[in-house]
């Protein structure tokens, strides 16, 4: 028979690390809240009959955000056979606040007292026996990161199946009196085993629980709660919270010996005073970003990419061509293999060294704890624009891939802020867009790191500007959600974990090149080699050229519409952004004769302004189909998703148009007629930002 | 008329295209983002740890 175990705890208490240790999985672990927004399942490593469910982190059983609802609903409705409560021993008091509520549900519970190594280092002693007795459940000391106590925890989990239910804490006499009165009132209306939990939640004025109870008893429930508030002179939820904390304080004083530990500033705090300071936080972040791209794009990664590109175009392609010709393979097949597959997939794979270095540096920053600080720093800024640090968590996740970035918006409490985040998170370049940045930087800007940093800056500015504009849309107005997060202490990253994360991301990149890019390259080769009558022709007379020529006019004002190839690459980028490179690889390949490389061709076809405009448009416009699908899931309808995609494309077009047209005045051939359009677009954008009710005319029109 | 070498190379390309299509199809069917190395095997999205189809 299969048993189900729920893993629950505060955000950042090490649940996912514990889940990985217990099940042997390799779920992504992050040291910021919101990494787990949906429950995940795996089987216990030494006992396949036990399913372990990792739930999103929560601070209490009164949920405010969607992922907190996932955790609470699972415990109440799915009724797991046992609960493993992961408790961060270094923040025991706050973590026990959730524990007291979990044990009230009555499910057999084992507490994993995690991060015990950190506690020991601080010189704090926890009497586990006393703590276990006070809470009425088994406690195992663990360090999920180091793997300590995992075996004991596994044994405890197995022993817990079918064990007696845990019982909650006993509160003060006065509160217990109100609990009894509430229990009498709701008798028969809630499951008997959960009656104490429901009574406490109703005394806390938990609206979600109240809606589960028949309306006929609401007035009686309200009378009890009001009477309690009057007698104890406090808000209902304040009374319960105080009671819980006073019990926890008592337990702590009995079971925790702080010895002579003095509260002194640890190295992490000293670093944070500088890194998260109001004035230095942002400049340090910009400098770090610049350093990352200097290493990944301009120097170490750039050298690797140059070598690999040279090898592909000067050695691999000519060798493959020679071999195929010698084997008397038909010319068109040689074209498909060399100019289609090797040139297209090779163009993407050529960026692998830069990607590996970039992934490595980003993983190092995540693992050492710096990225959590970035979310904290950005909260100050995002808040001013109607968003919060929680939106930036989505942005951080979105730097890897837009799909989880959009999904991470689920942890945002406010509906409006959540929707705006889901609509705008893809403005930040994901890893699939990085080769495009590297291509433009390499082809037109001497691999300068400034290109990447400026694109990220434009991404963040676009998100913030969208925050201002979209909040003025009636259905998206609202105040930013509160943002609470713990800053984990800085630590030296584990080498194995860093190597594994980097290798996984690099493999994902290769895998994309070998699947979706390969398919796109074959399609692009076919469409660019045949005309509508299926006769083999030059690319300029092909079906793809016809399609590109229809589309390219749209991009003329943006500086990359003179050649149909760039319009086509933008179009194939909708399938996946790597395809932009793959498509160019196919269209610009010279047959592997060691001629011009992709960078040289792009460099000769685009001006710097046109290339940068092409880059900006492809970074900001509609994301890939997978991300559009994720947006549909978060926004709830295709109509809203359509509006979001339209907004993204409009913003991308405006930004590229303004940047290109204004840059051309100073660095190009002087102003073009399209400058008038750019000025008009800029004026409309400024109006949308400055005006109080820019969309009021729509409502008035509707009212009329 | 195709010669034997062209036919063999063509079959190899066809096999690669079929395999790639199947891999993309599986990823799309599961609702994953496609950037994950394991998505099609165990729903364990490596890009994020949050495969959309994880919820059973």
3-state secondary structure string across B7-31: HHHHHHHHHHHHHHHHHHHHHHHHC
Q: Which residues contact A570 (CB under 8 A, 6 or more apart)?
A: A551, A555, A580, A614, A617, A618, A621
φ/ψ of A282, rounded to 5, equals: -70, -50
Provide the angle, in degrees to the nearest 10, between the axes of the packed helices A518-529 and A564-572. 150
pLDDT-derived band at B37 (thresholds 50, 70, 90) equals very low
3-state helix, strand, coil in chain B (%, to 5): 55, 0, 45
Residue A136 shares a structural domain with residue A215? no
Mean pLDDT of A633-655: 91
A459 within 8 A of A619, measured Cβ to Cβ: yes
Mean pLDDT of A636-657: 93
Q: Which of A77-86, A382-391, A476-485, A687-696 has the lowest mean pLDDT?
A: A476-485
Give Cα separations from A492 to A61, A117, A363, A370, A470 (angstroms): 34, 15, 12, 11, 41
Q: What is the residue-wise DSSP string for A362-375?
A: HHHHHHHTHHHHHH
Question: CA dihedral defined by A573, A576, A581, A582, rounded to 10 degrees?
Answer: -110
What is the reported pTM?
0.71
User: B5–A329: do the CB atoms touch at under 8 Å?
Assistant: yes
Q: Which domain holds residue B47?
A: 1-56
The distance of B1 to chain A (nearest Cα, Å) reads 10
Mean pLDDT of A324-344: 91
More confident residue, A61 or A306: A306
Residue A265 lies in a domain: no
Sign of CA dihedral A569, A574, A578, A579: negative
Question: How do residues A561-620 score in pLDDT, each as one tens digit?
Answer: 889 999 999 999 888 888 899 899 888 875 443 344 788 889 999 999 999 999 999 999
User: B47–A505: do the CB atoms touch at under 8 Å?
Assistant: yes
The distance of A505 to chain B (nearest Cα, Å) reads 7
Question: Which of A6, A359, A401 has the highest number of chain B CBs within 10 A, making it the mutation to test binding with B?
Answer: A401
Q: Which of A155-164, A427-436, A514-523, A564-573 has the lowest mean pLDDT?
A: A155-164
Mean pLDDT of A448-474: 90
A213 within 8 A of A221, measured Cβ to Cβ: yes
The distance of A516 to chain B (nearest Cα, Å) reads 7
Q: How many domains does chain B have?
A: 1
Chain A touched by B11 (CB under 8 Å): no
Question: Between β-strands A40-44 and A47-54, what pairing exists: parallel, antiparallel or unpaired?
Answer: antiparallel
Q: How many domains does chain A have?
A: 3
Question: Between β-strands A3-9 and A47-54, what pairing exists: parallel, antiparallel or unpaired?
Answer: parallel
Residue A458 shares a structural domain with residue A565? yes
Structure tokens at A660: 């290109």
CA A543 remoteness from chain centre: 39
A363 within 8 A of A31, measured Cβ to Cβ: no
Q: Is the ipTM of this complex over 0.95?
A: no
User: A26–B44: do the CB atoms touch at under 8 Å?
Assistant: yes
Residue A311 shares a structural domain with residue A410? yes
How many Å apart are CA A649 and CA B30, to the nearest integer? Answer: 28
Residue A62 shares a structural domain with residue A139? yes
A29 vs B contacts (CB less than 8 Å): 49
Residue entry with tokens 């601070």: A59
User: A508–B37: do the CB atoms touch at under 8 Å?
Assistant: yes
Residue A612 shares a structural domain with residue A580? yes
Residue A547 shares a structural domain with residue A671? yes
User: B9–A515: do the CB atoms touch at under 8 Å?
Assistant: no
Residues listed for chain B: 56
Q: Which domain holds residue A343?
A: 284-483+491-697
Question: How do residues A167-178 score in pLDDT, each as one tens digit?
Answer: 677 888 888 999
B28 vs A contacts (CB less than 8 Å): 626
Residue A433 shares a structural domain with residue A564? yes
Confidence check: pLDDT of A644 > 60: yes
Q: CATH number of the domain that A185 lies in?
A: 1.10.287.1770
Residue A594 shares a structural domain with residue A529? yes
Give Cα separations from A581 to A255, A346, A450, A517, B24 (angstroms): 61, 9, 20, 9, 19
Residue A266 lies in a domain: no
B56 vs A contacts (CB less than 8 Å): 41
Residue A269 lies in a domain: no
pLDDT at B12: 92
Residue A554 shares a structural domain with residue A471? yes
A459 within 8 A of A429, measured Cβ to Cβ: yes
Residue A267 lies in a domain: no
Q: What is the residue-wise DSSP string for A112-161?
A: EEE-HHHHHHHT-EE-HHHHHHHHTSEEEE-BTTTTBTHHHHHHHHHHHT
In chain A, % of residues over pLDDT 70 = 91
Closest-approach residue (CA) in chain A for B3:
A329
Question: Which of A330, A403, A406, A503 has the highest number of chain B CBs within 10 A, making it the mutation to test binding with B?
Answer: A403
How many Å apart are CA B22 and CA B19, to the nearest integer? Answer: 5
Question: How do residues A226-273 score in pLDDT, each as one tens digit?
Answer: 999 888 888 887 888 888 888 888 888 888 887 665 556 667 788 888
A411 vs B contacts (CB less than 8 Å): none
Mean pLDDT of A660-682: 85
pLDDT at B36: 45
Name which of A506, A521, A580, A502 is nearest A352 in CA terms. A506
Residue A447 shares a structural domain with residue A532? yes
Of A257, A274, A306, which marks where a domain is finished?
A257
Chain A touched by B15 (CB under 8 Å): no
Name which of A387, A440, A436, A453 is nearest A414 in CA terms. A387
Question: How do residues A5-22 score in pLDDT, each as one tens digit?
Answer: 888 888 778 888 888 888
Burial of A282 (0-12, 13-18, 19+ CB in 10 A): middle
Tell me the average pLDDT of chain A: 84
Residue A85 shares a structural domain with residue A180? no
CA angle A24, A26, A32 (to 5 degrees): 125
Residue A684 lies in a domain: yes
Residue A274 lies in a domain: no
pLDDT at B56: 29
Confidence check: pLDDT of A478 > 60: yes
pLDDT-derived band at A188 (thresholds 50, 70, 90) equals confident
Among the partner-chain residues B5, B21, B50, the one whose CB lies closest to the CB of A407 is B50
pLDDT at A265: 63
pLDDT at A637: 84
Confidence check: pLDDT of A325 > 90: yes
Residue A187 lies in a domain: yes
- Residue A295 burial (CB count, 10 A): 18
Question: How do residues A389-415 score in pLDDT, each as one tens digit?
Answer: 778 878 887 887 787 788 778 777 778
Residue A123 shares a structural domain with residue A152? yes
B7 vs A contacts (CB less than 8 Å): none
């Amino acid at each position: 028979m299969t048993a189900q175990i729920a893993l629950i705890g505060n955000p950042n208490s090490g649940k996912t690390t514990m889940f990985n240790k217990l099940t042997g999985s390799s779920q992504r672990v992050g040291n910021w809240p919101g990494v787990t927004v949906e429950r995940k399942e795996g089987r216990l490593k030494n006992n396949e009959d036990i399913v372990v469910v990792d739930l999103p982190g929560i601070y209490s059983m009164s949920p405010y955000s969607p992922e907190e609802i996932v955790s609470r609903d699972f415990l109440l409705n799915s009724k797991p056979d046992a609960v493993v409560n992961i408790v961060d021993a270094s923040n025991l008091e706050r973590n026990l606040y959730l524990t007291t509520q979990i044990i009230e549900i009555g499910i057999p519970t084992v507490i994993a007292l995690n991060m015990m190594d950190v506690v020991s280092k601080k010189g704090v002693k926890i009497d586990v026996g006393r703590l276990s007795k006070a809470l009425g459940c088994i406690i195992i000391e663990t360090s999920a990161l180091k793997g300590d106590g995992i075996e004991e925890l596994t044994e405890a989990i197995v022993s817990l199946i079918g064990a007696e239910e845990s019982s909650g804490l006993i509160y003060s006499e006065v509160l217990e009196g109100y609990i009894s009165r509430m229990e009498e009132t709701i008798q028969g209306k809630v499951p008997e085993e959960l009656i104490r939990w429901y009574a406490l939640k109703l005394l806390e004025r938990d609206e979600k629980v109240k809606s589960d109870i028949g309306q006929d008893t609401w007035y009686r429930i309200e009378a009890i709660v009001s009477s309690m508030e009057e007698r104890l002179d406090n808000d209902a939820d304040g009374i319960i919270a105080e009671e819980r904390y006073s019990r926890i304080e008592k337990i702590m004083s009995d079971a925790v010996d702080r010895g002579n530990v003095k509260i002194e500033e640890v190295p992490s705090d000293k670093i944070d005073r500088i890194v998260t300071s109001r004035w230095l936080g942002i400049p340090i972040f910009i400098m770090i970003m610049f350093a990352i791209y200097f290493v990944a794009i301009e120097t170490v990664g750039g050298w690797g990419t140059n070598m690999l590109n040279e090898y592909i175009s000067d050695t691999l392609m000519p060798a493959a061509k020679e071999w195929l010709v010698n084997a008397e393979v038909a010319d068109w097949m040689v074209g498909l293999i060399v100019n289609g597959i090797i040139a297209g997939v090779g163009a993407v794979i050529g960026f692998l060294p830069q990607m590996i270095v970039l992934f490595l540096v980003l993983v190092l920053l995540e693992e050492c704890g710096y990225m959590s600080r970035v979310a904290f720093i950005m909260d100050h800024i995002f808040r001013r624009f109607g968003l919060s640090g929680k939106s930036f968590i989505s942005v951080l996740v979105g730097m890897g891939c837009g799909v989880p970035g959009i999904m991470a918006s689920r942890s945002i409490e406010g509906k409006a802020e959540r929707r705006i985040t889901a609509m705008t998170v893809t403005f930040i370049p994901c890893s699939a867009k990085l080769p495009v940045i590297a291509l433009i930087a390499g082809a037109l800007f001497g691999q300068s790191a400034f290109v990447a940093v400026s694109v990220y800056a434009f991404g963040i500015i676009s998100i913030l500007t969208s925050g201002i504009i979209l909040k003025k849309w009636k259905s998206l107005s609202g105040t930013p959600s509160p943002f609470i997060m713990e800053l984990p202490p800085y630590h030296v990253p584990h080498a194995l974990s860093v190597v594994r994360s980097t290798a996984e991301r690099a493999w994902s990149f290769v895998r994309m090149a070998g699947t979706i890019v390969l398919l796109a390259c074959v399609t692009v080769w076919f469409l660019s080699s045949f005309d509508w009558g299926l006769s083999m022709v030059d690319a300029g007379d092909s079906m793809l050229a016809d399609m590109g020529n229809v589309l390219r006019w749209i991009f003329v004002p943006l500086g990359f519409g003179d050649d149909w190839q760039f319009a086509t690459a933008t179009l194939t980028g909708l399938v996946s952004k790597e395809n932009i490179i793959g498509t160019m690889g196919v269209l610009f390949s010279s047959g592997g004769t060691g001629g011009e490389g992709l960078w040289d061709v792009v460099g000769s076809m685009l001006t710097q302004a046109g290339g940068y405009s092409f880059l900006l448009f492809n970074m900001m416009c509609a994301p890939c189909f997978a991300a559009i699908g994720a947006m549909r899931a978060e926004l709830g309808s295709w109509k809203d998703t359509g509006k979001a995609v339209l907004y993204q494309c409009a913003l991308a077009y405006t930004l590229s148009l303004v940047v290109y047209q204004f840059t051309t005045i100073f660095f190009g051939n002087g102003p073009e007629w399209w400058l008038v359009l750019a000025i008009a677009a800029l004026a409309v954008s400024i109006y949308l930002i400055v005006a109080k009710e820019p969309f009021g005319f729509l409502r008035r029109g509707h009212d009329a | 008329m195709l010669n034997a070498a062209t036919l063999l190379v063509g079959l190899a390309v066809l096999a690669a295209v079929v395999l790639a299509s199947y891999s993309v199809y599986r990823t799309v069917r599961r609702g994953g983002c496609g950037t994950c190395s394991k998505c099609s095997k165990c729903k364990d999205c490596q890009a994020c740890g949050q495969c959309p189809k994880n919820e059973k």
